[in-house]
Amino acid sequence: MALLPAVFVIFAFLWWKRAWNLKRFVTICAFSLVLPSALVLYSFWESTRVKNPVARTIWLPKEGAAGQPDMDWKDLLSVKAVDLELFRAPEMFKREPSDGSSYHMGYRVAQKHSYLALSVLFTFTDTWNLFQGLPGAQSIDRWFNTDYKMRRPWKTPVNMASMSFGTLWTVLALIGTPWIFFGAIKHLWKDKLKREDSAAFLGIAYFLLMFLPIPFVYHGCRDWFWTSRLILAPLLFFFWAGFLLLDRTIVAKSEKIAFVVLVLVLVQSGIEIVMLT
Q: What is the pLDDT of residue 144?
A: 60
Same domain, 44 and 130: no
Same domain, 48 and 171: no
CA angle 119, 234, 223 (to 5 degrees): 40
Number of domains in the chain: 2
Burial of 57 (0-12, 13-18, 19+ CB in 10 A): exposed
Same domain, 107 and 169: yes
Same domain, 68 and 53: no
Same domain, 109 and 245: yes
Rg (CA), the chain: 22
Same domain, 194 and 77: yes
Same domain, 9 and 85: no
Angle at which helix 155-189 crosses helix 255-275, to 10 degrees, equals 130
The sign of the CA dihedral 152, 154, 155, 157 is positive
Same domain, 250 and 155: yes
DSSP string, the chain: -THHHHHHHHHHHHHHHTT--HHHHHHHHHHHHHHHHHHHHHHHHHHHTSSS-HHHHTBPPSSSGGG--SS-HHHHH---GGGGGGGG---TT---GGGTTSPP-GGG-TTTS-HHHHHHHHHHS-TT-TTSBPSS---TTS---GGG-B--TTHHHHHHHHHHHHHHHHHHHHHHHHHHHHHHHHHHHTT---HHHHHHHHHHHHHHHHHTTGGGBTTTTTTTTT-GGGGHHHHHHHHHHHHHHHHHTHHHH-HHHHHHHHHHHHHHHHHHHHHT-
Same domain, 133 and 251: yes
> How far is Cα 187 from Cα 167, in angstroms, rounded to an integer?
30
115: how many CB neighbours lie within 10 A of its CB? Answer: 21
CA angle 72, 58, 83 (to 5 degrees): 30
Global pTM reads 0.88
Q: Supply φ then ψ for residue 234, to 5 degrees.
A: -60, -35
Output the tens digit of pLDDT for each of the chain's 277 residues: 899 999 999 999 999 999 999 999 999 999 999 999 999 999 888 888 887 777 777 888 876 545 678 899 999 999 999 999 999 999 988 888 888 888 888 899 999 999 999 999 999 999 988 888 777 666 666 566 666 778 889 999 999 999 999 999 999 999 999 999 999 999 999 999 999 999 999 999 999 999 999 999 888 999 899 999 999 999 999 999 999 999 999 888 888 999 999 999 999 999 999 998 8
Q: What is the pLDDT of residue 141?
A: 64
Domain that holds residue 216: 62-275
> How far is Cα 225 from Cα 174, in angstroms, rounded to an integer?
20
DSSP string, 107-140: GG-TTTS-HHHHHHHHHHS-TT-TTSBPSS---T
The one-letter amino acid at 251: V
Same domain, 249 and 214: yes
